[in-house]
Amino acid sequence: MCEVMPTINEGDPLGPQHGADADANFEQLMVNMLDEREKLLESLRESQETLVATQGRLQDALHERDQLQRHLNSALPQEFATLTRELSMCREQLLEREEEISELKAERNNTRLLLEHLECLVSRHERSLRMTVVKRQAQSPSGVSSEVEVLKALKSLFEHHKALDEKVRERLRAALERVTTLEEQLAGAHQQVSALQQGAGGQDGAAEEGTAPLGLKRLWKDDAGRLQELQELLEKQNFELSQARERLATLTAAVLELEEDLSTARRDLIKSEELSSKHQRDLREALAQKEDMEERITTLEKRYLAAQREATSIHDLNDKLENELANKESLHRQCEEKARHLQELLELSEQKLQQTLRRAETLPEVEVELAQRIAALTKAEERHGNVEELLRQLEGQLEERDQELARVRQRERMNEDHSKRLADTVDRLLSESNERLQLHLKERMAALEEKPWSVSRGCGWASGAIEVPSRQRGSPGGCEPPPSPGPGLGYTVTATGDQDTAQGWGRPAKKRALQALLCLSCGPPGPCPCPAA
């Protein structure tokens, strides 16, 4: 009758994701279920003890019945049909009592089986609750079938108890009717005995008054002896009938006690049914709480999946931004390479300018070519300015990307260090080129000192024009007037590590120097006819 419920496997502990409150509620529910199970077991033990007591009483009744049967068999006179009839009736009553006892035994067995079934159900629910963490299989109808089975068993048990009560009442009614009939028969027998005694007394009086013969007197004496024997037998029969009544009363009392035990067992069954219904309600509540916990777990899993998707999207965005940063870095490298290329072109133009300066000493026809070269240089400077503007724009974009990408600041710092090193190398290269230009100009000025004073004046004015931008960038006060050229023409072009100074030498100062060199062909001393820079 006891079927073990299917084992409910435990899931992956998503405990950390379920919460401490839900775990505490579930543990409290488990403790309450165990307490109720202990109470139910105690009630079952009490009912078993009562059943054992009733069984002992039934055994005592059977023992008394056997003793009564032996006593009746030993003390029963076999001459009287009435006593045999009464004995047969008592036997029938005893058989009925035996049937009732057998029915009570069957009922006791049924109650024991029902209690065992209830205990198995309780143990089954306890195991399932202890082993359950995740949801039980919703499709398995084991729990529903067990509940239906319990309800059907209880219903059949109550119907059986009702039928037994009706049978016991009918048998008691039949026994009372039989007792009344026996009492009526006994009263009739008493009347017959009294009538015989009266008749015997009347016959004795008539014999004493008349003169009857001796044979008749002897007959009357024999009849009186027989009447005395009959009276003694009747008294014995009455005594045995009273004993049988007493035994019947004791049996009825035992039957009443058994009925009381049956009512107590019935009440215990009702209590056990109430406990089982309460246990089923608790089980339903536990299942509902379990379903709520599973819903919470599903919501947490959905949130976890959403967070995981967001994390993947953020990683993708980070990779995209890193790719964009790499592209910008490659563009920055390309711009730096273009700047180096333009710097090389500038150096080549400076070399060509030096060659044109050498040719200007002996070839006055070079002025047109110099003007063309100046225009080319201005165009190159404009291109260089455009490249610098592009570099500034790229740097602005890089700064904006740096503000957007806080996670890649370390790479940006490395890029800044790299750009600083590149700027230092560019400054160093520009300073070296400036020094070379200064040496070249010193050599040229030393060569020009041998020329007339007008040529020296023009060169001094050119050197003053060259020193102006360097002093403008070196002094915070503004522009200083160029120094008047002395007879020695001793001037120096300061080469600083500043990138702006190198760029200033590459833009307007070079133009002024070229214009000053062009002024060498302006004839006698006086104001220069060339346009001012």
Query: Would you state the pLDDT for residue 10?
Result: 44
- C-alpha to C-alpha distance for 453 and 526, rounded to whole angstroms: 12
* Predicted confidence band of residue 376 (pLDDT cuts 50, 70, 90): confident
Query: Would you state the pLDDT for residue 493?
Result: 39
In contact, 197 and 122? CB cutoff 8 Å: no
Q: Between 391 and 80, where is the model more confident?
A: 391
Lowest mean pLDDT among 73-82, 394-403, 419-428: 73-82
Q: If you average pLDDT over every residue of the chain, what do you get?
A: 69
Lowest mean pLDDT among 42-56, 401-415, 473-487: 473-487
- What is the pTM for the complete model shown? 0.23
- Does residue 163 surpass a pLDDT of 80? no
Query: Would you state the pLDDT for residue 88?
Result: 75
Instruction: For the chain, give the percent of residues with pLDDT over 90.
Output: 0
pLDDT digits (tens, 9 = 90+) for 141-154: 444 445 555 556 55
Token pair belonging to 291: 């379903």
Residue with tokens 């016991």, as numbered in its chain: 168
Q: Quick one: DSSP state of residue 66?
A: H
pLDDT (average), residues 102-117:
77
Query: Would you state the pLDDT for residue 522?
Result: 47
pLDDT (average), residues 297-310:
82
pLDDT (average), residues 183-211:
60
pLDDT (average), residues 387-393:
80
- C-alpha to C-alpha distance for 118 and 102, rounded to whole angstroms: 24
- Does residue 122 surpass a pLDDT of 70? no
pLDDT (average), residues 171-178:
76
Q: Residue type for 147, please?
A: E
Q: Residue type for 171, please?
A: R
**Best-predicted range by mean pLDDT among 48-52, 256-260, 264-268, 474-478?**
48-52
DSSP per position, 348-371: HHHHHHHHHHHHHHH-TTHHHHHH
In contact, 298 and 134? CB cutoff 8 Å: no
pLDDT (average), residues 63-81:
68
Token pair belonging to 491: 């001037």
Lowest mean pLDDT among 12-16, 112-116, 444-448: 12-16
pLDDT digits (tens, 9 = 90+) for 22-54: 777 877 887 888 888 888 888 888 888 888 888
- Does residue 503 surpass a pLDDT of 50? no
In contact, 405 and 325? CB cutoff 8 Å: yes
Q: Is the C-alpha dihedral spanning 57, 60, 66, 71 positive or negative? A: negative
- Does residue 75 surpass a pLDDT of 80? no
Q: Residue type for 520, please?
A: L
Token pair belonging to 504: 């200033």
- Does residue 413 surpass a pLDDT of 70? yes
* Predicted confidence band of residue 452 (pLDDT cuts 50, 70, 90): low
In contact, 453 and 525? CB cutoff 8 Å: yes
DSSP per position, 214-279: HHHHHHHHHHHHHHHHHHHHHHHHHHHHHHHHHHHHHHHHHHHHHHHHHHHHHHHHHHHHHHHHHH
- Does residue 469 surpass a pLDDT of 60? no
DSSP per position, 490-517: -------S-HHHHHHIIIIIHHHHHHHH
In contact, 408 and 367? CB cutoff 8 Å: no
pLDDT (average), residues 410-439:
81
Query: Would you state the pLDDT for residue 395?
Result: 80
- Does residue 332 surpass a pLDDT of 50? yes
Query: Would you state the pLDDT for residue 250?
Result: 76
* Predicted confidence band of residue 128 (pLDDT cuts 50, 70, 90): low
- C-alpha to C-alpha distance for 163 and 175, rounded to whole angstroms: 18
**Best-predicted range by mean pLDDT among 43-57, 202-216, 512-526?**
43-57
DSSP per position, 150-162: HHHHHHHHHHHHH
Lowest mean pLDDT among 156-170, 191-205, 209-223: 209-223
- Does residue 155 surpass a pLDDT of 50? yes
Residue with tokens 């109720």, as numbered in its chain: 36
In contact, 431 and 496? CB cutoff 8 Å: yes
**Best-predicted range by mean pLDDT among 32-36, 215-219, 352-356, 469-473?**
32-36
- Does residue 6 surpass a pLDDT of 50? no
pLDDT (average), residues 359-371:
66
For 105, other C-beta atoms within 10 Å of its C-beta total 13
Query: Would you state the pLDDT for residue 393?
Result: 82
Query: Would you state the pLDDT for residue 123?
Result: 64
